[in-house]
Structure 1
Amino acid sequence: MGGKLSEVTAQPVDTKPRGTSIDGGLDDALQFEHSLSFWQACKLYPSAIGWSTFVSLGVIMLAFDPQLLGNLYAMPKFQEDFGYLYDGAYIISAPWQTGLSMGNPVGQVVGALVAGYPMERYGRKWTFGVCVALTAGLIFIQFFARSLEVLLAGELLGGLVLGCYAVIAPAYSSEVCPLAIRGILTSYVNLCFVMGQLLANGICAGTSKLTDHWAYSIPFALQWFWCLIIIPGLLWVPESPWWLVRKGRLEEAETVLRRLASEKVNVKQTLAVIVETDRLERELEMGSTYWDCFKGVNLRRTEISIGVYCTQVLSGIYLINYGTYFFQLAGLPTEDAFSMGIGFLAVGFVGTLVSWPLIIRFGRRTIYNSGLFFLIVLQLIIGILDCIPGRPTSVIWAQSSLMLIWNFFYDISIGPVCFVIISEASATRVRSKSIALATAAQGALGCIMTVAIPYMINPDQANMQGKLGFFFGGLAAVCFVWAYFRVPETKGRTYEELDILFERKVPTRAFGDYVIEGGSHEGAFQD
């Protein structure tokens, strides 16, 4: 994965102030970026890794909330306090499940689009801080809710803020780390999603046996835990150096780069690359507004970001929010359903960890497309099994087991790789806006699924059970065709090189092998 650490860091660090230093050392800086292996980058940028993972904690809160609701629908005490009797058992009606679950996807749509403005005007750090403070306040509504109406208000308001974290985390991670660890730190966002969901399942499994309101009040209260961890650390979070450069605050950007890297890194050369990339994008008239995301070559880049994020929804990821309830309706006892729900997400946790060496070795396109293909096959098998007459117990357990395998393949492929692609496909000047648009599009589809899934799985509605495999398998097949022709390989490319590849309209399947003649900052428009 590269030479020894001493070989790639034994460069003289230029300590002279250089008014023209932005151009000086560019080739050295780019060569240094490309020469770093994953482990070398980890040794040289421990602070960048730490702060990237810290800001991504917001995603855990984002994932915890909808997963919590999905578990509450299967919790006996919550069903009794908020539901109604149906066929001898308490259930939450499909319309109320839809309304309550709508808070998160609606929040992703509105919150993501709103987040793009303060992120660009005030920076990533302060936008993140305000969101955490608002989340801490809005949890009070959920905690003290004793009616579906009040809980609905808490979910909708909380969702508006939670949606911002889906934009802040990948944008920040992609802008504070070097090329060699960019894929891992942006895919870590997916691990945070899994951790939030896993924690919600585990906590609900533990409190579901309580016979008073604490069965569901404790899970709501535990959301404050993350706020208590994040708020004290906000004073020390470094701002994105890319954002500082766009604001013309080069001295502050250099100071931040020194905080993010070890003393062995020539941060002046790193700053030179950032400034040169920003200059190139201004020369290419990339712009920095939502409208600019749809102009010229940015249209293709925005399409890729939106497409890979929406594929998550269309392939069936929203079933995770109803995982425990789905297993319960499939015929498993309540205790086994909660255990299966925990196992479902534990497998996803392991899958995301497994994805990291794959991302380093194989890149983005191959993993994304291969994983999506396996998801289609597994969904169709689940649907076929549901057609067996009488659905014996062995079939129910087989379907549940296949769902675990499905989640494993999801979390080694389109789950984590999506966040890598949306961070790399977008131009740096419109990154926050591009990720916001992708998040909003995914949230809009999530709203549709939030309305549809309760009606598809509830026993008093369509009661489709495992036949959902045909539905999501078919949608995933359409996404696979799109991804094969549209998702390029972005592994090993600096942001400047990606700008050049998109500007030259390099075909999707040629991205990985395309050679940029000469220095990447020279002759950007010449083949």
Structure 2
Amino acid sequence: MASEEVENVTQHDSVEGGPADLHDMVHHPKGWMNWRVVMNMIIVGLGLCLWGFDNSSTGPILALPLFVLKFQGYGPAFTAKNLDLLVPVPIVGAALGTVASAPLMNKLGRKRAMVLAYFLGAAPGSFLSMFAPNMAAQIVGRFWTNLGVSVLTTAAPLYLTELAPAHFRARAVGFCVAGVAAVGVISTTIIWKTATIADNLQWKIPIALQAAIPVALGFLTLLCTESPLWYLQHDQLERAKSALLSIRNANVEVVEVELATMQAAALAEAERARQADVHFWDILKPRHIQRTLSAGALLCLGQVCGQILIMTYSTVILVQSGVADPFKITILITCLQFLGTIIGPVLVDKVGRRPVALVGFSILFILNMAAGGLAASGLTTKTQQLGLAAVFIIFGFFNSACGQTLSFILPTEISTPSLREPTMAWAVFWSYTTAIITTFAVPQITAADAGNLGAKAAFVFGGCVFITVTWAYFFVPETRARTAAEIDEMYDIGLPMRHWRNHKCQTGSYMLNTGIGGKDVEVKEP
């Protein structure tokens, strides 16, 4: 943006009253919902479905006898070495994809970045996996798929928080995660059915679906509205206002107040940017380091809370533990995971981020200890085996309601506007890096030809969850219904996280002084 003044972006004098009226307009806008924003949120939310499909189907596919026979040559299960080739190595592609996601989103916008990820990453990679003649080609196909999926995983949550108003952010992103869980239910059910097929269609059918989905979603994403905030950050005020009007039911009052809050944050960032150029690595500067570490830590800690053991490798672990009908149990796990993704976003928006984090992570600690204890008992009786299956199922619910919901919401909220893309890319990069380590470690400590711990590995993850609960108390902020400008303010004054809920910000006063509530809002281009 240049330094000269631009036209008044709002000329509205129907917002009556003082700060109380403004507070309601900012935090509880009325009449904004319409079919267009619902369509946008559904399509963008489905952008994470490929991650959900891959995450939920990896374990069941790796347990299919003909898949093992095709790519290992003998069975009945993959060795720890081959599991470490088929799971962690492709996640390296996902980590690399996050590096590309920040410049893609910044230069092209959220919408075009996602379209490219569908057509150039996820789709061709899945087609290669489907027709792979050997282990090497299968690994390359999964690597390429994960490269595209990671761009979607980075862009979709960020995109959703910029389409939804502040009071609806958690539900918008959370229901996106619900779509992930729904796809997980579908994928595991499909694999359960194809497991009875006596030829290579047993594993080719689910991978074929994974190849077809990005093609369909790529075309649907072309129908979406670009992020208003991205337009604003790229000197396109009229397009930003037009985009907001289309996804706010043409409600002028809501659009003008929301646009003003975005500009308030943009002006504050512009003042800082005039003092120094903004670069990717600014996320590690002292004023931003707490946000950056918190954004990355939450996604990383989610990887070591047991979800890799119980979600990704659930079918393999259940087979190893002698649990009957492991494919059916996996379907139940994904069903409870889906239920958690429906309930979690509502809880996070209604109750708050901190209560859900502290209570949810504490429950995950108890469940990990229970799983480890049952495994340590020997799993020699049917009751013990059913108990382990029940713990896995319940874990699926609480992990999605707490860990997965918060992991995708908070990083998008706590990043400062000018560093949203690099902060989210940083968080997802370290999430995938942690996933590489954990997916490599799990076979080494659980497989019969390696550490042979089986489900007793839950004790290790339980210790990680204990650390997570302690960390959450000090570093998880309460961002419920807060605007970007308010979050910036509370970070700037160094307010302890436990005091965020009841803090009254001065952002409303700033907006009144600059013209909302009867005056024109005159904005200088930063």
Q: TM-score, normalised by structure 2?
A: 0.90
Aligned residue in 2 for 1:11: none
Report the CA distance shift for 1:229/1:29 in structure 2 as closer, same or farther (over 3 A): farther
> Does the Cα contact within 8 Å between 1:60 and 1:196 map onto a contact in 2?
yes
Report the CA distance shift for 1:459/1:193 in structure 2 as closer, same or farther (over 3 A): same
**1:123-202 alignment runs, 5 A limit:** 123-134=109-120, 135-202=122-189
> Does the Cα contact within 8 Å between 2:304 and 2:464 map onto a contact in 1?
yes
**1:71-470 alignment runs, 5 A limit:** 71-85=60-74, 89-134=75-120, 135-266=122-253, 267-285=255-273, 288-319=278-309, 320-333=311-324, 336-389=325-378, 391-470=380-459
Bigger shift: residues 74-83 or 491-500: 74-83
1:103 CA drift (Å): 4.5
Aligned residue in 1 for 2:523: none
Equivalents in 1 of 2:243, 2:478: separation in Å? Answer: 30
Equivalents in 2 of 1:450, 1:144: separation in Å? Answer: 25
Report the CA distance shift for 1:215/1:518 in structure 2 as closer, same or farther (over 3 A): closer
> Does the Cα contact within 8 Å between 2:166 and 2:481 map onto a contact in 1?
yes
1:381 CA drift (Å): 1.6
Equivalents in 1 of 2:59, 2:159: separation in Å? Answer: 29
Secondary structure class of the residue paired with 1:237: coil
Equivalents in 1 of 2:10, 2:252: separation in Å? Answer: 16
Report the CA distance shift for 1:519/1:467 in structure 2 as closer, same or farther (over 3 A): same
Secondary structure class of the residue paired with 1:56: helix
Secondary structure class of the residue paired with 2:480: coil
Q: After superposition, what is the alpha-carbon deviation per residue over 1:340-388, rounded to whole angstroms, capped at 9, x for unaligned?
A: 0000010010111112331232110110111000100111122122222
Q: After superposition, what is the alpha-carbon deviation per residue over 1:67-112, rounded to whole angstroms, capped at 9, x for unaligned?
A: 3332122112212222354xxx522221121111124422331101
Report the CA distance shift for 1:287/1:398 in structure 2 as closer, same or farther (over 3 A): farther
Equivalents in 2 of 1:270, 1:249: separation in Å? Answer: 16
Q: After superposition, what is the alpha-carbon deviation per residue over 1:392-431, rounded to whole angstroms, capped at 9, x for unaligned?
A: 2211110110111111111221211221211111112111
Letter in 2 for 1:326: I
Aligned residue in 2 for 1:15: none
Report the CA distance shift for 1:393/1:468 in structure 2 as closer, same or farther (over 3 A): same
1:218 CA drift (Å): 0.8
Report the CA distance shift for 1:116/1:518 in structure 2 as closer, same or farther (over 3 A): closer
Secondary structure class of the residue paired with 2:76: strand
Aligned residue in 2 for 1:515: 504
Equivalents in 1 of 2:91, 2:278: separation in Å? Answer: 25
Equivalents in 1 of 2:300, 2:138: separation in Å? Answer: 28
Structure 2: unaligned runs, 5 residues or longer: 1-5, 514-526
Q: TM-score, normalised by structure 1?
A: 0.89
Aligned residue in 2 for 1:34: 27
> Does the Cα contact within 8 Å between 1:109 and 1:443 map onto a contact in 2?
yes
Q: Identical aligned pairs, as a percentage? A: 24
Report the CA distance shift for 1:157/1:20 in structure 2 as closer, same or farther (over 3 A): same
Bigger shift: residues 387-396 or 336-345: 387-396
1:518 CA drift (Å): 7.0
Equivalents in 2 of 1:175, 1:155: separation in Å? Answer: 30
Secondary structure class of the residue paired with 2:505: coil
1:443 CA drift (Å): 0.5
Residue 20 (str. 1) matches residue 8 (str. 2) = yes
Report the CA distance shift for 1:157/1:314 in structure 2 as closer, same or farther (over 3 A): same
Q: After superposition, what is the alpha-carbon deviation per residue over 1:6-35, rounded to whole angstroms, capped at 9, x for unaligned?
A: xxxxxxxxxxxx923469779666541223
Letter in 2 for 1:51: N
Letter in 2 for 1:118: L
Equivalents in 2 of 1:475, 1:228: separation in Å? Answer: 38
Equivalents in 1 of 2:466, 2:165: separation in Å? Answer: 34
1:516 CA drift (Å): 2.1
Equivalents in 1 of 2:307, 2:408: separation in Å? Answer: 15
Report the CA distance shift for 1:501/1:147 in structure 2 as closer, same or farther (over 3 A): same
> Does the Cα contact within 8 Å between 1:143 and 1:217 map onto a contact in 2?
yes
Report the CA distance shift for 1:448/1:459 in structure 2 as closer, same or farther (over 3 A): same
Report the CA distance shift for 1:353/1:234 in structure 2 as closer, same or farther (over 3 A): closer
Q: After superposition, what is the alpha-carbon deviation per residue over 1:237-264, rounded to whole angstroms, capped at 9, x for unaligned?
A: 1111101111111111111112111123
Aligned residue in 2 for 1:49: 38
Letter in 2 for 1:443: Y
Bigger shift: residues 308-317 or 94-103: 94-103
Q: After superposition, what is the alpha-carbon deviation per residue over 1:227-282, rounded to whole angstroms, capped at 9, x for unaligned?
A: 24223323321111101111111111111112111123432333222222211122
Letter in 2 for 1:359: V
Report the CA distance shift for 1:121/1:262 in structure 2 as closer, same or farther (over 3 A): same
> Does the Cα contact within 8 Å between 2:72 and 2:135 map onto a contact in 1?
no
Report the CA distance shift for 1:268/1:357 in structure 2 as closer, same or farther (over 3 A): closer
Equivalents in 1 of 2:445, 2:408: separation in Å? Answer: 29
Secondary structure class of the residue paired with 1:296: coil
Equivalents in 1 of 2:34, 2:91: separation in Å? Answer: 34
Letter in 2 for 1:157: W
> Does the Cα contact within 8 Å between 1:496 and 1:520 map onto a contact in 2?
no
> Does the Cα contact within 8 Å between 2:300 and 2:434 map onto a contact in 1?
yes
Aligned length: 498
Equivalents in 1 of 2:488, 2:168: separation in Å? Answer: 19
> Does the Cα contact within 8 Å between 1:187 and 1:418 map onto a contact in 2?
no
Aligned residue in 1 for 2:521: none
> Does the Cα contact within 8 Å between 1:374 and 1:409 map onto a contact in 2?
yes
Aligned residue in 1 for 2:465: 476
Larger RCO, structures 1/2 (Cα 8 Å, 6+ apart): 2
Q: Give the CA RMSD over aligned residues.
A: 2.2
> Does the Cα contact within 8 Å between 1:29 and 1:273 map onto a contact in 2?
no
Aligned residue in 1 for 2:478: 489
Q: After superposition, what is the alpha-carbon deviation per residue over 1:41-88, rounded to whole angstroms, capped at 9, x for unaligned?
A: 6x6344223212211222111221243332122112212222354xxx
1:520 CA drift (Å): 4.8
Equivalents in 2 of 1:500, 1:368: separation in Å? Answer: 23
Equivalents in 1 of 2:33, 2:55: separation in Å? Answer: 37
> Does the Cα contact within 8 Å between 2:25 and 2:257 map onto a contact in 1?
no
